[in-house]
Structure 1
């Protein structure tokens, strides 16, 4: 049973006139009649009857018409969906992101992409840079938002922001009264930091900056995510150094202060398999280029 035969049947059933149906289908009348006859042979039933030279549907034809219309509609939709997916306007985008991207970059990118391509399903999950690199290398995700530097030749990157470290202080802390702080002002303070397992480069860099400023940070608590760190700072357990932009917090709980030290900034980058030509990825990168 061929799709073109089904389409010819549906149009003929709608017109109940071979000449008009042939005109709609851009076929000759003999060609249309052969297609209807072939469909009837495939089904083993008669679909049309002629009474006093008028074309009509048989009981079997009336029952078959609803299913035939549905099959033709679904086939047309499948073609449309395939062509739309080829343009990157349908499908699924598998995106992973570091938590520090959730306060500005992620909502900006996703908002712009959703407005441009509402038909694409977003598969999202927070993930460390190291884990993202492994999945990008394996082709198991389409794009990541991660922190540079990385050393992976199969992964392409594009920097979208360069973010500073800032101090997080309990709102009632004596240093909170100052607009800016030198890093050495935190010597002797208890620290709440990222666990090294969740981000060794960030953890090691913060400790290294403190040592360069003349002290070793006294780490009394570690946490895997920034929101937990902020909650612990708000509870008065210690101070912290975080990559901006920072999560929102009530001013009577935690305050953020910039550093006077000239420290390297942290590059936030889009990353994707360098060999990928997936249409949905191409569309996302184009939207990202406009957003940044």
Structure 2
């Protein structure tokens, strides 16, 4: 059954006149008649009864008309859906994010997406920076919200905000009552870090801070799960590290434990949050999401401090 034959039949059903139906479709009457005959032969039934005085639908024609109109609406809907998806106005986009992105970027961005692109579904996946970049490279994510500028040319990127980093300790640690400490004092502390591949930019910011302070960190543990740091610092007299965004939850349960943030200064370690996506792909849904990021930015992250008094 050809789609054009169905359209020809429906034009006849609308007009009940071959001349007007042919004009409506910009066809000759013989061509219209041939298309109707081919449709009837395909179905094996007569759809239209035609005399010199009257054109009417047969009982089979009336039944077919009902289903044919449903078919046409479905085809039109499919066409609209395809055009909407091609224009980035419908479909599904997969976005990876980390804790500060979930706090400072996504709320406004998702609200803008809902307003401007209500037919787009945003699927969110919380992962470490390393996990997001692997998923982005594999095509499992369309956009990644990660720490640090991606170093590979396979990804494009956009800076979203800058975050300071703080030390985190347990409530009984001797630093727990201090508003801040100079970075150099970490030389006398046992530290816990996450494995570098989980978040290279954050790891390097900590190491760089130690270099600038002229010290060498004593790292007793490197964990596979950054959220486990908060648990470990409450159980042992060690110092961990977190973004100021995550540490803002001090006094609440974070990662299953109560931790206390301590400002570091001289220097203040900082890490940048970026949006990243694959280079060279014309992904309209991704572009729609990035346009919403642009519209609601710049993002008001927690304030950076250059010294304890500032």
If the TM-score is normalised by the length of the shorter chain, which range does it land in? 0.7 to 0.9
**CA shift for structure 1 position 163:** 1.1
Q: Does 1:203 align with 2:203?
A: yes
Secondary structure at the aligned position of 2:124 is classed as: strand
* 1:66 match: 66
* 1:114 match: 114
* 2:259 match: 254
Q: Deviations over 1:65-124 (max 9, x none)?
A: 333223211210111111111211122323233454333223333333233212223343
Q: Does 1:289 align with 2:294?
A: yes
Give the direction of change, closer, same or farther, for the CA distance of 1:220–1:4 in structure 2 (3 Å limit).
same
Give the direction of change, closer, same or farther, for the CA distance of 1:53–1:171 in structure 2 (3 Å limit).
farther
Secondary structure at the aligned position of 2:41 is classed as: helix
Separation in 1, partners of 2:49, 2:272: 74
Q: Which runs of 5+ in 1 are unaligned?
A: none
**CA shift for structure 1 position 178:** 2.7
**CA shift for structure 1 position 159:** 0.6
Q: Does 1:275 align with 2:259?
A: no
> How many residue pairs end up in the alignment?
291
Contact 2:247-2:261 at 8 Å conserved across structures: no
| Equivalence map 1:67-82=2 (5 Å) | 67-82=67-82
Give the direction of change, closer, same or farther, for the CA distance of 1:227–1:103 in structure 2 (3 Å limit).
farther
| Equivalence map 1:130-145=2 (5 Å) | 130-137=130-137, 141-145=141-145
Secondary structure at the aligned position of 1:181 is classed as: strand
**CA shift for structure 1 position 272:** 1.7
TM-score (normalizing by structure 1): 0.81
Q: Does 1:18 align with 2:23?
A: no
- What is the RMSD of the two structures over their aligned residues, measured on CA atoms? 3.3
Separation in 2, partners of 1:7, 1:184: 80
Give the direction of change, closer, same or farther, for the CA distance of 1:183–1:7 in structure 2 (3 Å limit).
same
Secondary structure at the aligned position of 1:283 is classed as: helix
**CA shift for structure 1 position 241:** 1.4
Contact 2:11-2:25 at 8 Å conserved across structures: no
Q: Which runs of 5+ in 2 are unaligned?
A: 253-257, 298-310
Separation in 1, partners of 2:181, 2:7: 75
Q: Deviations over 1:171-228 (max 9, x none)?
A: 4444233333222344444433222342344334424533553554444444444433
Separation in 2, partners of 1:88, 1:169: 46
Give the direction of change, closer, same or farther, for the CA distance of 1:254–1:264 in structure 2 (3 Å limit).
closer
| Equivalence map 1:1-292=2 (5 Å) | 1-13=1-13, 15=14, 17-18=16-17, 22=21, 25=24, 27=26, 30=29, 32-49=32-49, 53-137=53-137, 141-210=141-210, 212-213=212-213, 215-234=215-234, 238-246=238-246, 249=249, 251=251, 253-292=258-297
**CA shift for structure 1 position 51:** 8.5
Give the direction of change, closer, same or farther, for the CA distance of 1:262–1:183 in structure 2 (3 Å limit).
closer
